[in-house]
Amino acid sequence: MKRKTQRKIRQIYCPYCDILLEYHGAHRIQLGRYGWFIEHWEHLLAGSLNVQLYVCPKCGKIEMFRERK
């Protein structure tokens, strides 16, 4: 049994709605294609970035966490 993709899901509350954000799994983001990425991330992580997404079901706020290798 090997489940290295098993991840710890955080309990994060939306700062606006005070409800738990829904975990939306891991996503791969291609850096450079999305202009909304903070610039200083780019020299930290070349290429793509794996993030874990959490989304507020009410207001749509998105919280992202970089996945550790």
Residues of this chain that bind Zn ion (CB under 5 A) = 14, 16-17, 56, 58-59, 61
* 48-55 and 22-30 strand pairing: antiparallel
Could you identify the residue written with the tokens 């710890």? 8
Partner residues linked to 48 by β-bridges: 30
Nearer to Zn ion, 12 or 31 (CB): 12
Q: How far is the CB of 52 from Zn ion (least distance, A)?
A: 18
Smallest separation (angstroms) from Zn ion to the CB of 54? 11
Whose Cβ is closer to Zn ion: residue 58's or residue 66's?
Answer: 58
Partner residues linked to 13 by β-bridges: 20
